[in-house]
Every structure is written in structure tokens, then in C-alpha cells.
Amino acid sequence: MIIHLRIWRQEDRTSKGRLVDYTVNEASEHMSFLELLDVLNEQLLQSGDEPVEFDSDCREGICGSCGLMVAGIAHGPQKRTAVCQLHMRSFNDGDTITVEPFRAKAFPIIRDLVVDRSAFDRIIEAHGYVSVTTGSAPDANAIPIPKETVDDAMDYAACIGCGACVAACPNGSASLFTAAKISHLGLLPQGQVEASQRVISMVDQMDAEGFGDCSNYAECEAVCPKGISIQGIARMRRAYMKGVLSA
């Protein structure tokens, strides 16, 4: 396959960026999209040019570090797939693909396709955990929990914090990410002790980071590689209002 790429190049967060055209002449339909970028970088190094900076780690759709805009879509055109698991068989020979970083006020560009997503870390640090003493792990059946509740909690816990929801949202909202982290803890007994404190702290930190508000466009759910539902946002809003009124 011959693949033409238009890639965003930017020296640092203060420099002016631009789209630069490249061609990979020996792409394979079996390559992942990140492997395609690896091949491109080998070409650039051989010609004495600077390689394209991009984030990756596990390359198994687990770590969430590989977020990119591919052909104008967060993580690319394949549903429920992180860009590291997006394969070139999703494209055609001769295609021109535009590759850009996630764009949001709270995700400043570091270099090329790499953005600073530490705002997510600060939301978690605000109270995305259980701090009360719970003792050693109980037996699996010691605390009866309805299966539907456990399933919901696990669905929200699947969030990998990639930031696609923010990049896809017209408002640059982190509501889906924050709601997922709040829901997967708050649905289970161990997390309910601090539920009100958690939702207030995390939502307030989300707002302080400069993320926009949710307008129910549902673009976040559409691009989420784990298919997390926006129902969690409604749950978060209810919990936040209840927490504020009872404080």
C-alpha cells in the first residue's frame, strides 16, 4: 500500500504548527496505525529529518496513551478501537490521511502529536480513589451486590483515560472521563462512604482545569474506545447537585 500522510508538526507549545505532507510507499494492510508512523519515522531518520513525536506504550488498547486525531476522528474511523489497534486495512491504497493531536484548551501541545494530559491526573488526585480504611480484601460473596450494579461499575472502570472524549466534544468537556471515574467507585459499597465528597472535589477540579461543560452532544460516547455511556454524566450531575445541597 501507498499511504499519503498530512501530519501536524509543532516544535513546542509556543511555536506555530503546520501540516506537513509525507508518503509511506511500503505500508501493509496488517500494520497498526502506530506501526505505520514507526515506518515513517525510520524513513525520516534515514534522510536526516526529525521524527514525528507521538505517544504510545502498551499498544494493546489498554493504557490510553496513544490518542490521535486520524482523518478528523479521535482514534480514527473504526468504532471502539484505540488508535494503536487501528489497522491499515481500514484504509485504501493511495489514501491521504490527516493526523493531528487531540485539540482542547486543557490539553496543550507539547510537540507534534503529543499533548499534555496531566489535567486528568489532577482530577484523579482531587478524589478519584477510596481513602477510608476498608481492611483486607473480603471474600468475594461477603458483600452482596446486585449483578447489574457490578456490571455497571465494571463498564465505567474500563475507561483508559485516553482523552478522546475531550477531543471529540465541541465544548472540550471532560465530563465522560470524570463521570466514569466517579461512577465506577460510587456504585460499589466501598466507594459510597465518600461519594458526595468525591463528586464535588472531582467536578470542581475538572472545571478548574479549563474543560468545557457537557451539552449532551454525545460525541464523547461515539468515539470512546471502550464504549462508555453518557448515562454516567447524568448520574454525576445528580450526585453533584445532591452533594452541594446537602453540604
Mind listing the pLDDT tens digit for each residue in 60-72? 999 999 999 999 9
The segment(s) of the chain belonging to CATH 3.10.20.30 are 3-100
Using CA atoms in the order 208, 54, 101, 155, what is the torsion angle rounded to 10 degrees? -60
**Nearby residues of 6 by Cβ (< 8 Å), 6 or more positions away:** 19, 20, 21, 22, 96, 97, 98, 99
The segment(s) of the chain belonging to CATH 1.10.1060.10 are 117-246
Do 97 and 71 form a contact (C-beta atoms < 8 A)?
yes
Query: Could you write out the three-class secondary structure of 74-122?
Result: ECCCCCCCCHHHCEHHHCCCCCEEEEECCCECCECEEECCEECCHHHHH
Phi, psi of 77 (to 5 degrees): -75, -15
Question: pTM for this structure?
Answer: 0.94
Phi, psi of 202 (to 5 degrees): -75, -40
Amino acid 138: pLDDT: 74
Amino acid 58: pLDDT: 96
Give the Å distances, CA to CA, from 1 to 27, 138, 145.
5, 54, 52
Select the CATH number that applies to the domain covering 3-100 from these four: 3.10.20.30, 3.40.640.10, 3.30.70.270, 3.40.50.720.
Answer: 3.10.20.30
Q: Give CB contacts under 8 A, 24+ apart, made by 72-78.
A: 72/98, 73/168, 73/223, 74/102, 74/164, 74/165, 74/167, 74/168, 74/223, 75/162, 75/164, 75/223, 75/225, 76/33
Domain 117-246 has what CATH class? Answer: mainly alpha
Q: Is 221 exposed, middle or buried (0-12, 13-18, 19+ CB in 10 A)?
A: middle
Give the Å distances, CA to CA, from 65 to 139, 155, 163, 197.
34, 20, 9, 29
Which residues in the chain show pLDDT less than 50? none
Amino acid 135: pLDDT: 72
**Cα separation of 107 and 3, whole Å?**
28
CA atoms within 13 A on the CB side of 43: 13
Q: How far is CA 139 from the centre of its chain?
A: 33
Amino acid 123: pLDDT: 98
Amino acid 2: pLDDT: 97
Amino acid 246: pLDDT: 87
Phi, psi of 114 (to 5 degrees): -95, 130
Phi, psi of 181 (to 5 degrees): -70, -35
pLDDT, one tens digit per residue, over 121-176 is 999 999 999 887 767 777 777 888 999 999 999 999 999 999 999 999 999 999 99
Amino acid 190: pLDDT: 86
Do 145 and 215 form a contact (C-beta atoms < 8 A)?
no
